Chain A
């Protein structure tokens, strides 16, 4: 399963942080993340990325590990691998990368470990072939299923009304979900839920994601009561017969995951013309749905 989407989020967030524009990653490219040296940690960013080309003849995971361990071009950053900790091996198993680090990794804790884990995760997940990462120290599993989704790179709550929200879309291969950060200004007469649904309807801007709602989908109402966000669409919502159950499921969870990213929303009740329906794409939508991890 391929997921380059979270990278796009990071790009968007780092856009301001890196100050060099969005690091868009294309085919045969990867992003290598490194820690900002302590003396340069003034405010904001803690990691920075460098875009590198991949050797088409080499294994991308091996190439990423090699690039990660190399000396950074940006003198204000450093490789987060502490002394005594080495990457012993790296392999890809399905959509996941498995890294085995030397035993020194076991002694790591606190911020040093977090920085290493996050930089490795962000770097390896910038590969189109990798969605998540597991880290071993020897044969012992230390970290499992690390993904960019578990990392927040900066404070997205700029102001009470201008906020950063994650909007989920199916990836191009329709094997999973990816997300984009959208900076929204919430007017007094609207709600974050409605704005998120508007963003979902607008579709993604990233090349690795596809729209989840077709142009025929019309939002009738959205309101949240006791953590349950009820979303009512007009007839014709996800009525495209050409969509498979898996595709429909991805579209439903694009909506559910996007809305449940809000603090006050724990589940989403989907309605058609204000009425609940039994199921869509094999998903029981007669009851509120909670977010699903990838």
Chain B
């Protein structure tokens, strides 16, 4: 059978489930509230009545258990001394169930046989006691044998009809029922309001999520209160904000990447077209053009390699790591950069403390140092200086690379780790920069759980401070 969408929607709604759950809980509580006190009170009364009648019956039996045979007169004499006001009826029989004494005013059975089960059981030696509640009264019966010299000579039958206590119990039940009705009505109203309010907020959140999933990252939720749903709303707003930023970054990245790839490709196309289109091009010019094509191709290769490197770092949660002596890695890297420094007439000085060990990926750490030192050299003045310091600070290894170069304007500092961000595009290209080096530095350091900061030096130039968590044996075990 085809489901009706509205019914299916109601059936699956959180509000209905909430409401039903709360209602079930409420019903269970109210049922307990209704049944338990009344049942407990009834049981208490049963117990009290049985105890009371048993005591009375015991007194009567003791008084009647004499060696002389039971007669109506002897029983009347004994009963005249007893307080029988609470009893609706008291009967004493001989051993053949013939009634010797009966307090009934309206249907006196003296001299007749009383064929009551209770009396028959009592004459059989059993003590019978029960109390029942019929909604109007407690009817309690006690029947006890009169035994003398090991012989049952008769039985006592006591019956009590108590409407007064029953009325109190009934009143209690009625009050509880009224309270229950009031609580139930209030609870249903509250459950409806509460569940409606709760699910309305969830629905709002779901609607907003749907809108965001359709690409509208400007969607925000109005936050009220300070509960979990408000927290969820706040997180949702943060998420959409981050999504929006990420989306903007992605767009910019695609745009920048396209531009970065397009520029050398356009140069190559232009140069190759020139070669093809110029019939009488001399050999030296052609060689220059081909060399330029090669340079542009190298730039393309570098850019794509760096992009691949970044993408790789983006896609992995962790990398292979080893115990790295940073001093050794720095020195190895500097050896490779020595020709560049010589070319740019920049002096590199180091202050490397031994024992600075981290748990990291050598290739990535090398790339961090290489990129930072390369930038420090390339964007420096002739006769400029680059100073590299390595030291351990508490649980961290700190690598400081500072230069006396051209520096970075303050307004560019927040963006320099963004992909394809260049401070001076022309100079950067001239220096063979791709705008990805510092992004690689940033991502690699983050991947190691460290941090990288940049600042202007007061005396000119830039200072990069990289920190890595210091190596602990536990890290390797993990």
Contacts of A110 in B (CB 8 A): 95-96, 123, 152
Q: Interface code A41-82, partner B: CB below 8 Å = 1, 0 otherwise? A: 111111100000000000000000000000000000000000
Partner of B163, one of A159, A163, A261: A159
Of A87-95, A148-156, A229-237, the one contacting chain B is A148-156
Q: Interface code A15-48, partner B: CB below 8 Å = 1, 0 otherwise? A: 0000000000000000000001010011111110
B114 interface residue (CB < 8 Å to A): yes
Chain B residue with the shortest CB-CB distance to A265: B105
A11 interface residue (CB < 8 Å to B): no
B130 interface residue (CB < 8 Å to A): yes
Contacts of B173 in A (CB 8 A): none
A261 to B104, CA, bound (A): 10
Do residues B130 and A109 form an inter-chain contact, with CB atoms below 8 A?
no
Partner of A262, one of B99, B103, B108, B119: B108
B417 interface residue (CB < 8 Å to A): no
Q: How many residues of A contact B (CB 8 A)?
A: 40
Q: Given A155-B157, A157-B106, A159-B163, 9 more contacts at CB 8 Å?
A: A44-B117, A46-B119, A111-B95, A117-B113, A152-B99, A159-B137, A163-B107, A165-B107, A262-B106
Question: Given that A47-B115, A154-B116 are known contacts, is A114 also in contact with B104, CB under 8 Å in the complex?
Answer: no
Do residues A262 and B105 form an inter-chain contact, with CB atoms below 8 A?
yes
Q: Interface code A82-124, partner B: CB below 8 Å = 1, 0 otherwise? A: 0000000000000000000000000001110111011000000
Do residues B113 and A263 form an inter-chain contact, with CB atoms below 8 A?
no
Question: Given that A150-B113, A152-B113, A160-B161 are known contacts, is A111 also in contact with B104, CB under 8 Å in the complex?
Answer: no
A160 to B103, CA, bound (A): 11
Do residues B115 and A152 form an inter-chain contact, with CB atoms below 8 A?
yes
Do residues B89 and A155 form an inter-chain contact, with CB atoms below 8 A?
yes
Do residues A156 and B95 form an inter-chain contact, with CB atoms below 8 A?
no
Partner of A41, one of B104, B114, B121, B130: B121
Q: Interface code B92-132, partner A: CB below 8 Å = 1, 0 otherwise? A: 00011111001111111101111111111101100010100
A60 to B157, CA, bound (A): 37
A164 interface residue (CB < 8 Å to B): yes
Do residues B117 and A152 form an inter-chain contact, with CB atoms below 8 A?
no
Chain A residue with the shortest CB-CB distance to B159: A155
B361 interface residue (CB < 8 Å to A): no
B141 interface residue (CB < 8 Å to A): yes
A164 to B163, CA, bound (A): 18
Contacts of A118 in B (CB 8 A): 113, 115
B56 interface residue (CB < 8 Å to A): no
User: Shortest 6 CB-CB distances between A and B: which pairs?
Assistant: A41-B117, A163-B106, A159-B161, A263-B105, A46-B115, A157-B89
Do residues A164 and B113 form an inter-chain contact, with CB atoms below 8 A?
no
- What are 12 of the A-B contact pairs (CB < 8 Å)? A36-B117, A41-B121, A110-B152, A111-B123, A114-B98, A115-B120, A118-B115, A150-B113, A151-B115, A152-B99, A155-B116, A263-B108
Q: How many interface contacts (CB-CB < 8 Å) are there between A and B?
A: 108
Contacts of B98 in A (CB 8 A): 114
A114 to B103, CA, bound (A): 22
A165 to B105, CA, bound (A): 9
Contacts of B130 in A (CB 8 A): 43
Q: How far is the CB of B74 from chain A (nearest CB, A)?
A: 19
A201 interface residue (CB < 8 Å to B): no
B88 interface residue (CB < 8 Å to A): yes
Contacts of A160 in B (CB 8 A): 88, 161
Q: How far is the CB of A136 from chain B (nearest CB, A)?
A: 18
Q: How far is the CB of A174 from chain B (nearest CB, A)?
A: 25
Do residues B123 and A156 form an inter-chain contact, with CB atoms below 8 A?
no
Contacts of B117 in A (CB 8 A): 36, 41-46
A192 interface residue (CB < 8 Å to B): yes
A264 interface residue (CB < 8 Å to B): yes
Partner of A164, one of B107, B124, B137: B107
A166 interface residue (CB < 8 Å to B): yes
Do residues A114 and B88 form an inter-chain contact, with CB atoms below 8 A?
no
Contacts of A157 in B (CB 8 A): 88-89, 104, 106-107, 159, 161
Contacts of B95 in A (CB 8 A): 109-111
A158 interface residue (CB < 8 Å to B): yes
Do residues B96 and A114 form an inter-chain contact, with CB atoms below 8 A?
yes
Chain B residue with the shortest CB-CB distance to A163: B106
Partner of B109, one of A113, A117, A152: A152
Contacts of B97 in A (CB 8 A): 111, 114
Contacts of A151 in B (CB 8 A): 112-113, 115
Chain A residue with the shortest CB-CB distance to B110: A263
Contacts of A111 in B (CB 8 A): 95-97, 120, 123-124
Do residues B106 and A164 form an inter-chain contact, with CB atoms below 8 A?
yes
